[in-house]
Structure 1
């Protein structure tokens, strides 16, 4: 009998969100009075988010401009530099030059601008450090704007809980805020997936497919298993040829190419953590030979596995260079 995955096939996209591992969360609440503006520097490897909770804001990345209203969400998935301001001609100094009031190592508030109309915002930055998360971010556009909707309206409840934790500064508050900020990002990604038809194409569209999504879920759950095209087709009660053709059409690459690529993404993630050996990772992914694993890793990743080192955890200064 086929082995059932630990989640329903139709929720493979939900599983993609479930495994997000976030590191280095920075969170900031801002009270901004016109005229106001601030420029946020490029932060490669970080996903930025901004939510306008009252008033309005002009969001700029390069030549692209988005006007944000209350409960609008904007994401900058790959950390490009960007500008927020109330009007086109308002000065926008580097945000790191604006005084911050710190409420912990990762949480701050700012009051900035002149004496005009008030805008309040919540912004933050996180690093997503799971292979599925990195692939998800790679598929996202440079800017994700999710207008107000029932899903984005729910963000307000999470924002209120974060605000209470910041204001009360009780023991354990920073841990609570960190986890709430993680929830906030997942809610934003969920809103984007529901809002943008482009999010339902390619790999993400394949995750949502009842059959191919289940196949992907099986591979993601157990990358070390001795998968084959025939074996996965059997799990889905499809013919080998039908499954192989549908998989390639939806995912964009053949089944076994994807399986190998996924294993190497997982291997890279484990090696980057710095607490294991190449031989141990090879064995954990079902390779009987370290040499065979190393050849596959170099072919997919472009570097030998021994060259991968733990990525620096520069959790300070995601926003302000503290």
Structure 2
């Protein structure tokens, strides 16, 4: 398992909220759902994504954009958002008209679809993602506020299938939409990271290195193994000094510092999502005792593992 796969494995949709909007210029819609990730794509026409406090970003037809962070943003036909919003989306799927009044039934055009008329020239599709956990934060923290993936052949079949499923309301529909949103997000991120004009995070670049890439895979596959720099260098087939120097150059931190961060991220998520004891979690991520995990956890996060678990439960 590579670093990207490890991070993406923890990013899963559950209760995906898809919406399709059909509009005629001038138009705008506002999103205040506070979702960590929102997928935006133009099925017909083009638009601008206008984040609060950031520059507008254009999105062309069939391009896929990902908006990162809970801050509100607008999607509109112009970068100055001159038109009042057709609707405003809030957490838990609540939707109101632009002036805060109840959303009119006249604007409901079908399953997960709204707008003024079905044959409007602009069609917007959005899907929101509830990302939680320290492992997911390592991925989200490496992304810009808005990223756009240009039209690609790989995304088109997934997008076509998603559009077909959004219009349906069959048994098990939510599970299908969740998996499709997963696939759209993962495909879009992979395409974006691979673009020559994008500066990917250090761990993504390092995956292509014949020496450090193998070491990263091993750290992510076996975090509980009692790794040393010498052991990692042996696995990579180079000297200890060469490995330590190259790892630090590519990753921006020494091997053991990276391993500590990865182990603590895993531990934080295990504490939040399972009933395993602190000692069991410690051993699962590579610490010999609960005390060792507690010391490292307090040093990095400022609280003890038990306090983190209580906070997440609350």
Q: TM-score range by the shorter chain?
A: 0.7 to 0.9
Tell me if the contact between 1:48 and 1:75 (Cα under 8 Å) persists in the aligned partners: yes
1:40 aligns with 2:56: no
Give the Å deviation of 1:235. Answer: 0.3
Give the structure 2 partner of residue 317 of structure 1: none
Give the structure 1 partner of residue 287 of structure 2: 287
1: distance between equivalents of 2:88 and 2:169?
A: 28
Kindly report the root-mean-square deviation, in angstroms, between the aligned alpha carbons of the 2 structures. 2.7
Q: Deviations over 1:133-180 (max 9, x none)?
A: 3212111111112222x2xx4333222222333334222222112111
1:121 aligns with 2:124: yes
Give the structure 2 partner of residue 307 of structure 1: 307
Tell me if the contact between 1:287 and 1:293 (Cα under 8 Å) persists in the aligned partners: yes
* From 118, 133, 136, the counterpart of 1:133: 136
2: distance between equivalents of 1:119 and 1:179?
A: 26
Q: Deviations over 1:192-233 (max 9, x none)?
A: 112254443522212332221211111111111000000000
Alignment coverage as a number of residue pairs? 295
Give the structure 2 partner of residue 162 of structure 1: 162
Structure-to-structure mapping, 1:174-189, within 5 angstroms: 174-189=174-189
Give the Å deviation of 1:70. Answer: 0.5
3-state SS, counterpart of residue 171 of structure 2: coil
* From 46, 49, 70, the counterpart of 1:56: 46
Per mean C-alpha deviation after superposition, the further-off stretch among 17-26 and 247-256 is: 17-26
Tell me if the contact between 1:47 and 1:79 (Cα under 8 Å) persists in the aligned partners: yes
Give the Å deviation of 1:23. Answer: 3.7
**Structure 1: gaps (5+ residues):** 1-6, 102-106, 314-322
2: distance between equivalents of 1:231 and 1:271?
A: 28
1: distance between equivalents of 2:25 and 2:119?
A: 4
Structure-to-structure mapping, 1:172-211, within 5 angstroms: 172-195=172-195, 197-211=197-211
Give the Å deviation of 1:14. Answer: 4.8
Give the Å deviation of 1:306. Answer: 0.6
Give the structure 1 partner of residue 253 of structure 2: 253
3-state SS, counterpart of residue 64 of structure 1: coil
Query: What's the TM-score, normalizing by structure 1?
Result: 0.82
